[in-house]
Amino acid sequence: MTTLQILQEAQTARRALLRTGSKQKDAALHAIADRLWADRERILAANALDMDAARGHISEVMLDRLALTEERIAAMADGVRQVAALPDPVGRTLRTVERPNGMVIRRVSVPMGVVAIIYESRPNVTSDAAALALKSGNVCVLRGGKEAFRSANAIVESLREGLVQAGLPREAVSLVQDTTRQSANELMRAVGLVDLLIPRGGAGLIRSCVENALVPCIQTGTGICHVYVDKDADLEMALDIVENAKTSRPSVCNAEEVCLVHRDITERFLPLLRKRLVEDRAAGGLQPVELRLDKRAAAVISGVPAGEADFDTEFLDYVLAVGVVDSPEAAAEHIASHSTGHSDCIVTGCRETAESFIALVDSAAVYWNVSTRFTDGGEFGLGCEMGISTQKLHARGPMGLEELCSYKYVITGNGQTR
Amino acid sequence: MTTLQILQEAQTARRALLRTGSKQKDAALHAIADRLWADRERILAANALDMDAARGHISEVMLDRLALTEERIAAMADGVRQVAALPDPVGRTLRTVERPNGMVIRRVSVPMGVVAIIYESRPNVTSDAAALALKSGNVCVLRGGKEAFRSANAIVESLREGLVQAGLPREAVSLVQDTTRQSANELMRAVGLVDLLIPRGGAGLIRSCVENALVPCIQTGTGICHVYVDKDADLEMALDIVENAKTSRPSVCNAEEVCLVHRDITERFLPLLRKRLVEDRAAGGLQPVELRLDKRAAAVISGVPAGEADFDTEFLDYVLAVGVVDSPEAAAEHIASHSTGHSDCIVTGCRETAESFIALVDSAAVYWNVSTRFTDGGEFGLGCEMGISTQKLHARGPMGLEELCSYKYVITGNGQTR
């Protein structure tokens, strides 16, 4: 089936979902979870074929992302059940106004319609994304990476059986059958057929979507996150936050890439920073962090001299750029020029400084004395997440179920005219 | 000054506005209102030059849109004062969550940043749009039509004097000096410099923005609005609503273009419709409506046979396409295929029918027994409006001050790590 045919079928399913209530959606999600587990052997067999084909062609890290196990399938099914347990985001009255002429205007949450998701090699995104879309009343058109195609196809088969079991159209979830660049382009340009496009993947994919999409698109992901250590910081707290933000999981978008330090505390703080991130970690058998120092930092401690690009790079590794700034305002100014608007942090004991920093830093998440690693749907209490938006239109930060909805105005009266 | 230079200056002004509180913004708006009135002779002189140059080149309707008078300038100043009186949309805490680890997450409204507005020949849009942008903490880059360039320039001069008087940077409002297609394209492609692009104008301009914009863009405007008269409608009410929606101001986007009638009432309703819209109006010295009838309607009353395109045309004139449908579901189906998603209405006395129609019709505003003409910021009680969004991402329907804002998450704690 061509991508266009899939999108046309999605339109019919979209209208069916408009009539579907919470109970039926949750029943479908439970049926899907049961089917995923019941079908685990079939899914694992498909995954084994993907793994065989990929071995030798992609890195070990990528292979690990691609691999499914019984445990991972159980986790997928569990994730779907957790989505079922969340409150229904659709049909909420967000605001009610009665106008002087007696008409009542309600703003009501509604599904976006058809949500297309372009993702890469993690098979579990298939069921995660489909569950979030279904719970929010959206039809979901998935376009995964070619390495994971057989796995994704096997998973979608289970999803569709669950849908049908609950009396919903199987076309509410589809997998694009073409994994070439062409199908991604078709989704980006399907004006009138795709209501929202969400790319989940590396910087290249996201850039391509932003540049080529004619349909509404959410820019997710890349994070050049900063921690600014102010002169009024509790230095122990600063070390804890910097180490956690940098090293607890360096490969994710909410990890710290740049540490900015107030000039008044460089002599005290930088040696402690070096000790904590380099020496203590090496002594404890942990991977030490490579520090890339601007000139002023390099005058105080030893490390690699920072190159031109080091303050604009998402390392996703045990590497940290370290720079010295003259003031909180200068830190905010640096962040305005170099941040991707994902997550940025100030460590300070001074409320005034913190409030001014928070006002000036225009990022999705601005932290005061908390690690940047908390920018995550689960950690924010949303229960789940479709990605982290770094744009300002529609949704910002972790996108949960509410962010997969739009709204409409419903106006009722008894013959009002103007 | 080139468009790029203007956008770079806008970035500096953007940061200044992040530090500007409600009082200062309102003071600037009042200073602007005063200046507009004080400068009326200079503005009228500039407008006279525009009018002289345009006369003979554009239609009378367009000339009227271009013309300024003392009265219209007073209305512009008044509009700015009304915006000052509205509540500040920035800095509101939209939600607060305390997490088990003690960190507090607040979702706070923030300005979008730099809002670019491409508009056509109405000079008053210059001050309206700038006032809404300023009140919502946004820098405003205006690109008007070439016919109105001298008028817009004169108005912007007053706006900037008002800004400076209140201690704000004059670059918070700019007018692009180039009125060729190139400057519109530059705004559409200024990734990182324009946070939101709003086209205000005809279908061609909006299509061009949707197709070419790389920056986030709101699709505004075009309305093919439907009124469906159900078999359970109060026919007098239906006639009032249809006549009001069609004839009270046919040139606007919330005017009705299509009337759908349930098959069971065609014999009773269609002759009344013809009498009300054609004969009574002609007898009363009002412009009669030209009815374009599908085959089933034409079997009952006389009128022009509807052509292929008549159910997909924004007439903006005293023309109404009339069709017969078999059921409320068929009406919703027709609307799904032909509506622009602006404003659609059902007239019925049956609550069940109304609720099902409301669920199925996926438009920005869905009316039950109320004229579509109310889709308007003022009528909705927003106090003002930057345009009517017909897209589902970010904002839908009339865009007021809140819709010109984004939000960010502010997370405070005492050293939380993950």
| pLDDT tens digits, one per residue of B289-310 | 999 999 999 999 999 999 989 9
Band of pLDDT at residue B222, cut at 50, 70 and 90: confident
Lowest mean pLDDT across A180-189, A381-390, B352-361: A381-390
| Residue ranges of A 179-208 with Cβ closer than 8 A to chain B | 191, 195-196
Q: Has this prediction a pTM greater than 0.90?
A: yes
In chain A, what residues touch B412 (CB-CB under 8 Å)? 354, 367-370
Whose tokens are 């008894």? That residue is A414
pLDDT in tens, A160-210: 999 999 999 999 999 999 999 899 999 999 988 999 999 988 778 888 888
CA B252 from centre of chain: 10
Neighbour count for residue B56 (Cβ, 10 Å): 7
Question: Chain B residues with CB inside 8 Å of A363's CB?
Answer: 408
Residue B38: the pLDDT is: 98
Cβ–Cβ below 8 Å for B418 and A371? yes
ipTM of the complex: 0.93
From A21, which residue of chain B is nearest by alpha-carbon distance? B359
pLDDT at B78: 94
Of B18, B370, B414, the CB nearest to A359: B18
The reply to whether residue A413 touches residue B368, judged by beta carbons under 8 angstroms, is yes
Listed in sequence order, the residues at least 6 apart from A5 whose beta carbon sits closer than 8 Å to its beta carbon are none
pLDDT at B218 over 80: yes
pLDDT at B60: 84
Is it the case that residue A348 has pLDDT exceeding 90?
Answer: yes
Say what the pLDDT of residue B95 is: 95
Amino acid at A236: E
CA B305 to each of CA B3, B308, B323: distance values in angstroms, whole numbers, following the listed order: 50, 10, 11
The pLDDT score that the predictor gives to residue A259 is 98
Q: What 3-state DSSP class applies to A258?
A: strand
Interface of B with A in 77-116 (CB under 8 A): 97, 99, 103, 105, 110, 112-113
Q: Kindly state the average pLDDT of the residues A359-386.
A: 93
Average pLDDT on A254-276 reads: 98
Amino acid at B206: I
Look at A409 and B396 and tell me if their CB atoms are within 8 Å: yes
Tell me the shortest Cα–Cα distance from A98 to chain B, in angstroms.
9
Share of chain A above pLDDT 70, in %: 100
Low-confidence winner among A103-107, A212-216, B24-28, B158-162 (lowest mean pLDDT): A212-216
Closest-CA residue of chain B to A188: B211
Q: A161 vs A30, A33, A116, A300, B205, CA distance in Å?
A: 12, 11, 20, 63, 45
Window 265-324 of A: residues touching B by CB (8 A cutoff) are: none
Both tokens of B175, joined, read 């007018």
